Amino acid sequence: MAEGINKAILLGNLGQDPELRYTASGQAVCNMRIATSEKWTGRDGQLNERTEWHTIVVWGKTAESCDKYLHKGSQIYCEGRLQTRSWEDRDGNQRKTTEVVASKVLFLARAGGGGGGGGYDEPPPPSDGDAPAPDLGDDEIPF
């Protein structure tokens, strides 16, 4: 039997500044909340809008970059997998949350570029690996 696929792709805006912390072993972890919205015209001709909120969890160097370069209103693209975890709150109640554990985060908006994500001190580094993307000439683009 084939394995399943667990992949989430989101494009949205941060609802608050990223929250960076470190585990006991020193690993960086960043939590972010992003909003995705959709608009449609109903049968009655009225414009409708629905916003969904998503919790994104980012690890390692990418987490540190998110904390350094992103802020409330920044637009991001992220890919990852859905993960549900459970815990017990202070009152002893069982709680569950589903979040996206990001494997790739792209910072989309820049100062003056619209989208509310401006104000970067310097260009952010690549977020899904240490090596920069190769510089492909026009003749080497595969499409």
In a domain, 45, yes or no: yes
**Domain of 100?**
8-116
Which residues, in sequence order, are bridge partners of residue 58?
Answer: 30
**pLDDT for 1 beyond 90:** no
**pLDDT for 134 beyond 70:** no
In a domain, 138, yes or no: no
Q: What is the pLDDT of residue 110?
A: 58
Q: What is the pLDDT of residue 40?
A: 93
In a domain, 65, yes or no: yes
What six digits make up the tokens of 18?
Answer: 């990223």
We report the CATH number of the domain holding residue 112 as 2.40.50.140
Q: Residue 129: pLDDT band by 50, 70, 90 thresholds? A: very low
Which residues contact residue 132 at a Cβ distance below 8 angstroms, ignoring those fewer than 6 apart?
A: 126
In a domain, 40, yes or no: yes
Give the mean model confidence (pLDDT) for residues 5-27: 96
Give the mean model confidence (pLDDT) for residues 8-22: 97
Q: How many domains does the chain have?
A: 1
Q: What is the pLDDT of residue 130?
A: 42
In a domain, 134, yes or no: no
Instruction: Write out the chain in H/E/C secondary structure.
Output: CCCCCCCEEEEEEECCCCEEEECCCCCEEEEEEEEEEEEEECCCCCEEEEEEEEEEEEEHHHHHHHHHHCCCCCEEEEEEEEEEEEEECCCCCEEEEEEEEEEEEEECCCCCCCCCCCCCCCCCCCCCCCCCCCCCCHHHCCC
pLDDT digits (tens, 9 = 90+) for 31-90: 999 999 999 999 999 999 999 999 999 999 999 999 999 999 999 999 999 999 998 999
Please answer whether residues 97 and 80 qualify as being in contact, where contact means their C-beta atoms are separated by less than 8 angstroms.
no
**Among residues 62, 52, 64, which one has the least CA distance to residue 98?**
52
Mean pLDDT of the chain: 83
Q: What is the pLDDT of residue 117?
A: 40
In a domain, 123, yes or no: no
